[in-house]
Structure 1
Amino acid sequence: MTHRDEGRPSVGPAPAALRAAVWALRCLGGRWQPSRRDTELLAARLESRVLEPGMVVFAQGQVPDGVWIVRNGTLELVSGTGRRRVVVGVLPPCGIAGDVPLLLGRPAVCTVRALTTVQAVFLPAAAFHTLLESSPALARGWLTALARRQSRAQEALAETLTGDAKSRVARLLLREARNGTVHCAQGTLAAMLGLRRPTFNRVLKEFEREGLLTVGYRQVALLAVDRLQHCAQQDNG
């Protein structure tokens, strides 16, 4: 080995690991362009995981053992138990969980569990901290993504707390839709708004009668987005 090759791994990450790293970096969003070195650093540390429905990723009050990024399926964020159980939100593909409590060095404020079968990539806690410390570009990209998620969370909270039931349901459906469909159980959606299940179902049935959407098993297909947007802007309370 020559002096130039010292300190370099003899074999780089596998192509599949590199593809997973490229995808994970895209989930951070923004216009930044990670370098080949940053991509390889992440690829060397990512692990593929599969979660079955109901499996707990990490619990409220515990420090996560790493960062999770959803590739397929949905994770649910829940605070409290029993009658005090509140659905804080759901994470679709590209959703990220675990990084905030790890950065703060504090236990998680909610439980994260699999709503469906979930395929995810996992970054162990030690590797997460090492990556951010060794790559200023990755640190900036991750912090920008956190700021963007915080902004969306504040907007979602404002939408949840204001308006009558119809406008709140319309805003939630528009926000959670992916390619025109909301893949989530009605009970979870009702809990995200703090509405009683009968109230939420009544609004859905009214929207369905008006031809705005169709309701299926664990999904709501939006048929008239423009009319739903009009409903979202109304407040008949």
Structure 2
Amino acid sequence: MPLSRTDISKILAPDPWFSRQPENLQAALVAEAQEVQAGAGRWIYDAGESASGLYGTLSGSIAMHIGIENEEPALVSIIGPGHIFGYTGRFLGGRRIATAVAREPTTLLYLPERGLEAIAQRLPDLWVRLAELSSIHVVAGFRLAIANTRPATQRLAIHLQLLATQFSPSPHLPVTQDELSEMTGLSRKTVNRVLAGFEKDGLLSTGYRSLEILDPARLRATGRRKGDRD
């Protein structure tokens, strides 16, 4: 059964860009959007494609992969429920810069370009606001790049904090150690060792293909101090 517009607005409330928009724009975005179902493993879009339309995750999650030149694309981030994505490429040459894949059965919000154009006729500052959205995502990409220059303990703590924002308010992160290894550039052995240390210190608990954050404040503090190198 399709979600109501009110329910969709509530789901998107955690998104830092969407939450800052005026109510009339929020309502217009939801009204013009389509609800799309994506099975696990389905490609939402591919790097290099023409960038068109705006996406949001209503349930499930999306894996974002980026490749450099001819290298195999690597997992760089996971988009959780209630977050908007997919428009950065529109302002960076008009092509997708990442490949988006559903990690599990996922419900998406899709706002096609014609819907955005219809909104812009009524609210012409939409394009400026979408440029702001793109800049937010570009800055997030820089932060990830900087995080991956940090020592192993600090690096993993930062990535876990970023994942926590994607799945908030739930403390459960449906992420595997293999995914954490790929996102951080750390070996699987190092990820396992650092997580074991976090668990021993009471920062989190590990489960089957998931983690639970137990002490967000101490995890943030760990992300700000240097740890052991791989």
TM-score range, shorter chain: 0.7 to 0.9
Task: Using the aligned pairs only, state the percent identity.
Answer: 21
The reply on whether 1:141 has 2:129 as its aligned counterpart is yes
Structure ID, larger Rg? 1
- Partner residue of 2:200? 209
Which of 24, 36, 42 matches 2:29? 42
- Partner residue of 2:41? 54
Q: How far is 1:48 from its partner?
A: 0.6
Q: How far is 1:26 from its partner?
A: 7.0
Q: How far is 1:188 from its partner?
A: 1.4
TM-score normalised over the length of structure 2: 0.81
Assess, with a 3 A threshold, how the Cα gap between structure 1 residues 21 and 133 changes in structure 2: closer, same or farther.
Answer: farther
The reply on whether 1:111 has 2:119 as its aligned counterpart is no
Greater shift after overlay, 21-30 or 212-221?
A: 21-30
- Partner residue of 1:222? 213
Q: Note if contact 2:13-2:82 (Cα within 8 Å) is conserved in structure 1.
A: no
Q: Deviations over 1:161-216 (max 9, x none)?
A: 22x11111112112211333322222112111111222212211222233321111
Structure 2 distance, partners of 1:63, 1:93, is 25
Unaligned runs of at least 5 residues, structure 1: 1-13
What is the number of equivalent residue pairs in this alignment?
221
Assess, with a 3 A threshold, how the Cα gap between structure 1 residues 26 and 145 changes in structure 2: closer, same or farther.
Answer: farther
TM-score normalised over the length of structure 1: 0.78
Q: How far is 1:223 from its partner?
A: 1.9
Q: How far is 1:58 from its partner?
A: 0.4
Structure 2 distance, partners of 1:203, 1:129, is 48
Unaligned runs of at least 5 residues, structure 2: none
The reply on whether 1:184 has 2:175 as its aligned counterpart is yes
- Partner residue of 2:186? 195
Amino acid at match of 1:195: L
Assess, with a 3 A threshold, how the Cα gap between structure 1 residues 32 and 230 changes in structure 2: closer, same or farther.
Answer: closer
Q: Note if contact 1:102-1:125 (Cα within 8 Å) is conserved in structure 2.
A: no
Which of 36, 39, 50 matches 1:63? 50
Q: Note if contact 2:88-2:138 (Cα within 8 Å) is conserved in structure 1.
A: no
Structure 2 distance, partners of 1:199, 1:135, is 50
Which of 147, 152, 162 matches 1:165? 152
Superposition RMSD in Å: 2.9
Q: Note if contact 1:30-1:145 (Cα within 8 Å) is conserved in structure 2.
A: no
Assess, with a 3 A threshold, how the Cα gap between structure 1 residues 101 and 131 changes in structure 2: closer, same or farther.
Answer: farther
Greater shift after overlay, 70-79 or 145-154?
A: 145-154
